[in-house]
Structure 1
Amino acid sequence: MILTQIILVLFIGGFVAWRVELQRPQSAKWLSLIAIGFSLALLISFANDNHDIFYQYVKISQIPWINKFGINYAMGIDSLSFILIALTLLLGVVCVLVSWQEITDNIGFYYFNLLASLAGIVGVFSATDLFLFFFFWEVMLLPMTALIAIWGHEHRHYAAIKFFIFTQVSSLLMLLAIIVLALINQQHTGIWSFDYFELQKLTISSQTQYYLMLGFFIAFAVKLPSFPFHTWLPDAHTQAPTAGSVLLAGVLLKTGAYGLIRFVLGLFPEASLEFANIAVWLGVISILYGAKLAFAQTDFKRLVAYSSISHMGFVMLALFSFEQIAYHGALLTIVAHGLSSAALFAVAGMMYSRLHSRDLEIMGGLFSSAPVMGGMLLAFVAAAFGLPGLVNFVGEFLSLTGAFKVYPLQVVLGALGLIGSAIYGIYLFGQSFQGKVQHQIIDLTHRELLVCSSLLFLLVLFGLFPELILNHFTEYSLHTNINLITIDKLSIEVMS
């Protein structure tokens, strides 16, 4: 029940933070921080005592919920789930710290929504019943919408509505596909079931499997986001409070990647293989399109938002190449982008709190008054464009190297995105911290330095020792019972 305990600690912690605001508003921050820290401690303690999760999928709980339709409260964890839940909780701590001085209105309700969103995300990464998965998918959506709509910037209502519509419409497509899957299982076995592992055993016609796969794919491509389902992202990132941007880029986008791995590839391997060429091209377009538009931005947060579209394109390219090396590269890229994008948005929030503007055209020469902040931004920019020694480089290198065997042309085109990321990264740093001095600002506080140095430490640690992550995926590769050798044979048959 460890996963349930983590979700309850987060949700109850957020609720208590909301209620104590009436008597002691500042206590909400500490209660939220304690709740997330305790949840992270629970997860680490469980992993230390249960090493099996790194080599197989371990079912944690399965409790009957809606018996008539075979719906269970079923939770499980493996190395993929563990790493993404750990990333979620770690960035949850970052979210609280960057909100410490920024949020001054409705503090308790703000932290309730923040922790409720984290609880929903943990549920998404651990649910093994598809109905329960959809339930948590919706749980994380509503408080995230509230964070943007209530505590966002000048156009927050427009951004929140756009975010809600895009994600809700795509979620309904996924719900329809889930119901059809359960109905097919009922027709084949006479039993209603939404169990992930039972649905994996279904034999479905190629055409039906293809349409069901599209229902899941669109929902996850919107969250990733991938071209052409990306248009909600720049507005949501730009208008969200700093913690909202950190949560969106660092974790929420990763639910899309997780969904592609666990459900699209896991439930529909043959249909995914048939769709692979289209998905790979969408990944390449996302890489180049995101890099081009990032360079065209003058808004700090909007530039970083478009860069996220570009970087997540590498994940799409790698996953649908069906290559072991590329898959490991995708996993590292997911972690790397979670850390580096969270760091960039954190710095953006720190600068906004000082300048009350995100406009790069009014910045310049900030390095003279804030050298530590400038050094941190340069390091995070270097991570984003793949400087060797940082984990982003390892992830994107493995993604491209693995995919090159199957899609050489697409990989060559996608590699141009690395050049683009260097260009817009240096542009971002140059416009803000180099050139003529426009403003004098206060350098990083101790709290801000703790946030930045922690994220930089992890980027360097996993960049120099990527095996700390990769070793957990050696024996249990796709975590979805997909046999890569079988997929490789299928791909040869299809190409022939």
Structure 2
Amino acid sequence: MSASLYLVAMIVIPAIGAAAVAALPRERGLLAKQVTLGVSLVVLLLAVLATAAFDVDGDRFQLTTSVSWIPDFGAEFALGVDGIALVMLLLIGVLVPLVVTASWHEADAGPRPTRVFFAWLLLLEAMMVGVFVATDVLLFYVFFEAMLVPMYFLIGSFGGPRRQYAAVKFFLYSLVGGLIMLAAVIGLYVVSTSQLGEGTFAFDALRQLDIDPEVQKLLFLGFFVAFAIKAPLVPFHTWLPDSGAEAPIGGAVLLVGVLDKVGTFGFLRYCLPLFPDASRFFAPFVLVLAVVGILYAALLAMGQTDMKRLVSYTSISHFGFIALGIFAFTTEAGTGAVLYMVNHGLATGLLFIVVGMLIGRGGSRQIGDYGGVAAKAPLLAGAFLVAGLASLALPGTNSFVSEFLVLIGSFPERPVFTIVATVGIILAALYILLMYQRTMHGPPRGVLLQQDPAEPLSGTGTGTGTGTGTGGATAASATATATRPAAPGTLRVLDLSRRELAVVAPLIALIIGLGVYPQPLLDLIEPAVSATISDLGGTDR
């Protein structure tokens, strides 16, 4: 296969796989899982091949392909990657097979056929790839909006007890943001028509436009609102705690690990290069939102009793650091922000998966329902500890490198914002370590865990001590099991199975490996960030 077709294949293959899985008979749930895992591994292979074919010293956008799409409007099906998009493709390639494996039994407990869950998962993967590789702004918008559909159904059909509310809230917030961005996309097309004689949506052509600063401000706000909702930045964040808490664990991993990165990716890809004057004008405002988000979300995380909501709030805090790095307008801080996007996906993905495994054993999302788990399940506790330490950016883990680059790159240009943001590091240590200590250590307490080692696990337990059931169990039997009173000091927890070890081991290896040696990713990211800062006229540090 020609290297230029790698990106096309990464969209087409999971899309065809989704259709094939959806067409399987209802009783062929195992085959649906196997096909989904196989397709996701093919996408991972293609991402690795695309990385191998990418020349870090070559053109800004590589592996490009373009086909006329809507000629009357100058729209093309144009794909290409720079270093920023490429590392996001690698993140998708790594996370999706692990999500499939982690969700092997989770979908069986839902009200819909198993094949439906995995078909939506593959379609979501195709849309996620498309949004990062599109180099036509209209095509980017189409993928941006199309991502909402599979995630809406994953949350609404396979989520927790408040799944319908969370799914609708997620969809409406994102849809409104997307419609505002559509208005800006149309405005950008009108500007290109007036300056070039014919309209275009091609990113390279739009980047060359000389847009009036006042017009830039309006167009910037159109894109910014959509990306701020998707990221999310405070005060556009309120959909995420509900969606993250109610989504099935696999959906939550991709929601927080990948989909939210589209917002921060959009800042870098579109807001800064296309609207440099407006970006500089609004930068102080965005930095205030970023720093407020770091502190506000961290404080809210400390007060959560629901583990999934706590992890969701930690992500909002982390996105504040990413936004700080982007709007500091230095290459060093921007490189750290992109690396943070990848590392956050790995660390928070692992944290969500481990939390889901714990919920699947206890049937409750409440922190207070657990205690003393480490004595009974040391491997589970160890994975939980690694995920927590990576989330608080402990030196030696992957998140430390990215957070350090963001802070050291931001300080020369934005010292006040950087100093205030560092308070979030202290708060992160508090909310992560408190959750770990309360669930993993101390005297055994809480729900009586009845899971058999051969039985599947589910991560969609409720926040009140009831669960949705596992491995095809009915909701009624699952609830009866989860609410059976525990005898004092009789908490029985099963440790990680081989399947679960196969899920957490690659993420732990990447967390430690990138914490020790992040240079391969930095080599991919830095040239693309430097080119973006050059478009903006920022500081090359």
TM bracket (short chain): over 0.9
Residue type at the aligned position of 1:472: L
Which amino acid counterpart does residue 487 of structure 1 have in structure 2?
G
Quote the offset at 1:43 in angstroms: 2.4
Match of 1:404 among 404, 411, 430: 411
Residue aligned with 1:194, SS: coil
1:183 to 163, 181, 190: 190
2:148 aligned with 1:141: yes
Paired with 1:111 and 1:53, the residues of 2 have a C-alpha distance of 39
* Deviation per residue, 1:445-495 (Å, 9 max, x gap): 1111111111011011111001121122344434547346x3249xxxxxx
Q: TM-score, normalised by structure 2?
A: 0.88
1:39 to 36, 39, 43: 43
Aligned to 2:163: 156
Q: Tell me whether 1:90 sits opposite 2:94 in the alignment.
A: yes
One-letter identity of the residue aligned with 1:471: D
Look up the match of 2:10: 6
Q: What is the CA-CA distance between 1:41 and the residue it aligns to? A: 1.0
Check if 1:487 corresponds to 2:494.
Answer: no
| Match in the other structure for 1:132 | 139
Partner in structure 2 of residue 449 of structure 1: 501
Go from structure 1 to structure 2 and tell me whether the alpha carbon gap of 1:330 and 1:85 turns closer, same or farther (over 3 Å shift). same
Higher relative contact order (CA 8 A, sep 6+): 2
Q: Distance in 1 between matches of 2:88 and 2:43?
A: 14
The yes-or-no answer on 1:317 pairing with 2:317 is: no
Q: Residues of 2 paired with 1:139 and 1:480: CA distance?
A: 26
How far apart in 2 are the matches of 1:53 and 1:62? 22
Secondary structure (helix, strand or coil) at the match of 1:65 reads strand
How many Å separate the matches in 1 of 2:73 and 2:406? 41
Q: Percent identity?
A: 37
Deviation for aligned residue 1:54: 6.6
2:511 to 449, 459, 468: 459
8 Å Cα contact 1:55-1:472 kept in structure 2: no
Structure 1 stretches of 5 or more lacking a match?
490-496
Match of 1:305 among 301, 309, 312: 312
Would the aligned equivalents of 1:227 and 1:286 in 2 still touch at CA under 8 Å? yes
Tell me, yes or no, if the aligned pair for 2:328 and 2:414 is still in contact at 8 Å: yes
Distance 1:267 1:450, change over 3 A: same
- With over 3 angstroms needed to count, the CA separation of the structure-2 counterparts of 1:284 and 1:53, relative to structure 1, is same
Cα displacement string for residues 114-135 of structure 1 (whole angstroms, at most 9, x for unaligned residues): 1111110100000011110011
Contact 1:21 1:28 in 2 (8 A): no
Residue 241 of structure 2 corresponds to which residue in structure 1?
A: 234
* Offset, 1:48: 2.0
Task: Give the Å deviation of 1:435.
Answer: 1.1
Unpaired runs of 5+ in structure 2? 446-490
- Counterpart CA distance in 2 for 1:275 and 1:50 is 34
Aligned residue among 117, 121, 143 for 2:128: 121
Provide the C-alpha distance between the structure 1 equivalents of 2:176 and 2:527, rounded to a whole number of angstroms: 37
Deviations 1:300-344 (A, max 9, x none): 000000000001100111110101211111112111110011001
**What's the C-alpha RMSD, in Å, of the aligned pairs?**
1.5
Alignment partner of 1:370 is 2:371: no
Quick one: distance in 2 between partners of 1:52 and 1:472?
A: 6
Q: Which residue does 1:492 correspond to in 2?
A: none
Question: 1:422 maps to which residue?
Answer: 429
Structure 2 counterpart of 1:200, from 190, 193, 207: 207
Q: Check 1:350–1:54 CA distance in 2 against 1; reply closer, same or farther (3 A cut).
A: farther
Instruction: Tell me the alpha carbon deviations over residues 378-420 of structure 1, each in whole angstroms, 9 at most, x when there is no partner.
Output: 1111111111011111111110111111111111110000000
Residue 80 of structure 2: aligned partner: 76
Work out whether residues 40 and 86 of structure 1, in 8 Å CA contact, stay in contact via their aligned partners in 2: yes
* Cα distance, 1:21 vs structure 2: 3.7
- Relative to structure 1, is the Cα distance of residues 389 and 52 closer, same or farther in structure 2, using a 3 angstrom cutoff? closer
Distance 1:399 1:227 in 2: 19
Match of 2:296 in 1: 289
In structure 2, the partner of 1:49 is 53
Q: Following TM superposition, by how much is the alpha carbon of 1:55 offset from its aligned partner in structure 2, in angstroms?
A: 5.4
Secondary structure of the corresponding residue to residue 174 of structure 1: helix
- Residue identity in the other structure for 1:292: L
**Aligned partners of 2:207, 2:526: CA distance in 1, in Å?**
22
Cα deviations by residue, 1:267-295 (Å, 9 ceiling, x for unpaired):
11121011111111111001001100000
CA distance in 2, matches of 1:46, 1:113: 25
Secondary structure of the 2:401 match is helix
Aligned AA for 2:68?
P
Which of 497, 511, 522 matches 1:470? 522
Secondary structure, aligned partner of 1:20:
coil
| Distance across 2 between alignment mates of 1:380 and 1:2 | 32
1:106 deviates by 1.2
SS across alignment from 2:77? strand
Report the CA distance between 1:51 and its aligned residue.
2.5
Compared CA separation, residues 45 and 451, structure 1 to 2 (3 A): same
The one of 268, 273, 277 aligned to 2:280: 273
Q: Which amino acid aligns with 2:332?
A: I
| More helix, by proportion | 1
How many residues matched? 488
SS in 1 for 2:67: strand
Whichever residue aligns with residue 408 of structure 1, its letter is: P
Amino acid at match of 1:300: M
CA contact (8 A) 1:124 1:137 kept: yes
8 Å Cα contact 2:83-2:526 kept in structure 1? no
Aligned partners of 2:56 and 2:417: how far apart in 1?
Answer: 37
SS of equivalent residue, structure 1 residue 344: helix
What residue number does 2:271 align with?
264
| 1:213–1:272 Cα contact (<8 Å) kept | yes
219-228 or 98-107, which moves further after superposition? 98-107
Whole-Å Cα distance in 1 between the matches of residues 324 and 527 of structure 2? 23
Matched residue SS, 1:477 = helix
1:245 pairs with 2:271: no
Counterpart position of 1:494 = none
Contact 2:54 2:62 survives alignment (8 Å):
no
Does structure 2 retain, via aligned residues, the 8 Å contact 1:54–1:472? no
Report the counterpart of residue 390 of structure 1 in structure 2: 397
Determine the C-alpha separation between the residues in 1 that align with 2:182 and 2:356.
36
**Of 348, 351, 362, which residue of structure 2 is paired with 1:344?**
351
> Does 2:29 correspond to 1:25?
yes
Secondary structure class of the residue paired with 1:76: strand
> Relative to structure 1, is the Cα distance of residues 303 and 470 closer, same or farther in structure 2, using a 3 angstrom cutoff?
same
Deviation at 1:82, TM superposition (A): 1.1
